[in-house]
């Protein structure tokens, strides 16, 4: 395993989120956009600075924010079980589509990203009508086509982080509750998934505790899989060929949530987290960089093409 001492971890912002999630690096403004999920807010934070804009969306939960490719003022966001086009200047939200009513409870969106063609791929979870938590095995993966949702896969419990291999042929996907990373073959022309299999099962590895849940996920320029471990207070880097853990980096919050590569060289990582009263630096943004310049992201995150 690589030496984590070659990496430094610092606090990038003193702003505290209840549940920071969904970081997106926007290179034109050199800013991080992310969400405070439980507060229903979206945040813009210039790199190396405190947040400049915090917008309350008036929703129970927001979990993703992705800029539009052809409109610098518009962002794709979710309002609980709805997807909307949000104008940053006017603060108007135009509803694009909603999840259908689910027989087992309330289905809502969670993590989402855009593929190389700018198509949104987004996961869902189903919350019990009896307020007993998440319903096992009822979450799905969808693709947004215009104003319609196309189901690509189902049978998940807590759909979470996702990303593609460097060549775009493989799609990696976290089911947090089941503590597994799945991998699919990805048809880039049609935006479809096939050949689902387990890439990494955290329950089968003694290096991980039972309370460590894979949350956000990114793939770097060398096809290594990076995932944030909610409950574990760390990021891990996994070899996509051997499924061996190559690196573990601790951060100052046990409930680390998501991550993204940032800056023009994509050689630093910003990390979001969830607040815990017993951890004074939790809920903040963290910055990770490599002393030996070993970090390299897999291109800028894709914006949404409408």
Known binding site: residues? 21, 108, 110, 160, 215
**Please, are residues 252 and 230 in contact by the beta-carbon 8 Å criterion?**
no
Q: What is the dihedral of CA 103, 108, 114, 117, to 10 degrees?
A: 40
**Please, are residues 260 and 268 in contact by the beta-carbon 8 Å criterion?**
no
Quick one: which of 167, 172, 175 has its CA closest to 184? 172
Q: Which residues are annotated as a binding site for substrate?
A: 108, 110
Residue 130 CB neighbour total at 10 angstroms:
8
Tokens 């259908």 belong to residue? 100
* Annotated catalytic residue, options 81, 111, 115, 215: 215
**Please, are residues 305 and 297 in contact by the beta-carbon 8 Å criterion?**
no
49 is catalytic: no
Helix (H, G, I), strand (E, B) or coil at 60: coil
Tokens 């992310």 belong to residue? 34
Under 8 Å CB-to-CB from 97, ≥6 apart: which residues?
82, 83, 144, 147, 148, 149
**Please, are residues 18 and 39 in contact by the beta-carbon 8 Å criterion?**
yes
Round to whole Å and give the CA distance between 198 and 152.
17
Round to whole Å and give the CA distance between 172 and 178.
15
97 forms beta bridges with 83
Annotated catalytic residues are: 215
């Amino acid at each position: 395993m690589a030496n984590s001492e070659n990496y430094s971890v610092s606090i990038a912002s003193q702003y505290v989120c209840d549940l920071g999630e969904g970081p997106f690096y926007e290179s034109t403004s050199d800013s991080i956009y992310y969400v405070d999920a439980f507060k229903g807010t979206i945040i813009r934070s210039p790199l190396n600075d405190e947040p400049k804009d915090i917008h309350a969306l008036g929703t129970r939960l927001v979990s993703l924010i992705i800029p539009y490719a052809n409109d610098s003022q518009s962002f794709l966001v979710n309002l609980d079980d709805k997807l909307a086009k949000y104008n940053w200047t006017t603060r108007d939200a135009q509803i694009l589509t909603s999840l259908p009513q689910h027989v087992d409870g309330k289905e809502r969106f969670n993590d989402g990203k855009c593929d190389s063609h700018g198509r949104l791929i987004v996961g869902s979870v189903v919350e019990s009508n009896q307020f007993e938590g998440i319903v096992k095995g009822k979450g799905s993966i969808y693709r947004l086509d215009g104003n319609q949702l196309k189901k690509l896969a189902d049978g998940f419990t807590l759909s979470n982080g996702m990303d593609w291999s460097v060549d775009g042929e493989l799609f990696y996907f976290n089911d947090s509750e089941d503590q597994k990373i799945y991998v699919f073959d990805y048809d880039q022309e049609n935006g479809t998934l096939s050949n689902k299999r387990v890439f990494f099962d955290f329950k089968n590895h003694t290096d991980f505790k039972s309370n460590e849940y894979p949350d956000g996920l990114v793939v770097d320029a060398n096809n290594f899989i990076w995932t944030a471990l909610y409950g574990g207070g760390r990021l891990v880097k996994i070899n996509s060929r051997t499924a061996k853990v190559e690196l573990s980096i601790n951060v100052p919050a046990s409930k680390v949530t998501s991550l993204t590569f940032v800056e023009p060289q994509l050689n630093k990582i910003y990390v979001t987290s969830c607040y815990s009263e017993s951890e004074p630096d939790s809920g903040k943004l963290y910055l990770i960089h490599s002393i030996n310049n070993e970090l390299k992201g897999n291109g800028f995150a894709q914006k949404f093409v409408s």
